Amino acid sequence: MPQSSSNYATMKYPLASDPVNVHGDFKVLVDALNDILPPLGVSAFSLPVRNITGSLLSIGTPVSISGSISGKTTVEKYNPSSPSHNPNTPILGIVKNNIANNNDGVVVISGVLEMNTSSLGSVGTKVYVDSNGDLVADRPATGPGRYVAVVAISGTEGLLIVQAKGNGTWGALKDGLS
């Protein structure tokens, strides 16, 4: 039987007449998930997605939501230089494994992502998304320069800690929608 959390008591089904407290309600949800997921061995919060872009989405590609098809979230490479994106377009997360066109895959929204981090600097380096939608080690001089991860292990078998702060992702929810 699952252990109970002190947060469960505050997670009640809202009524239409209840006051809305988006920040507080999300914080309660995130706190509860942070209590529940680690004991279950979940090291990352991820989402199954579908690629219908017409090209491969490679591991380590930052993506945004492009829509849905048959109940599955569709994604595309986040690219602030694209006419379909703007600096406020939310980054959903980072592609976990290569996703061929018209195939399903997984996007890490928050947590650990295993990938080659050789080009992203040493341990502790903040990882940003540049104006082309690529991961880079230094904050870009132009474009939104969104901070999305930290290098935990540098190398060909490296690790990123995905946090995607401040842009509508799980990391933003964890930070109280700051």
Query: What does the pLDDT look like over 48-100, one tens digit per residue?
Result: 999 999 999 999 999 999 999 988 999 999 988 777 776 677 888 999 999 99
Q: Let me know if 100 is exposed, middle or buried by CB neighbors in 10 A (0-12, 13-18, 19+).
A: exposed
Most confident of 66-70, 116-120, 134-138, 153-157: 116-120
Q: Residue 149's beta-bridge partner residues?
A: 127, 162
pLDDT at 135: 94
CATH code for 20-174?
A: 2.40.300
Average pLDDT, integer, range 34-43: 62
Query: What does the pLDDT look like over 149-170, one tens digit per residue?
Result: 988 889 999 888 887 544 444 4
For residue 138, CA distances in Å to 94, 128, 143 come to: 17, 7, 13
Where do the structural domains in the chain lie, given as residue ranges? 20-174
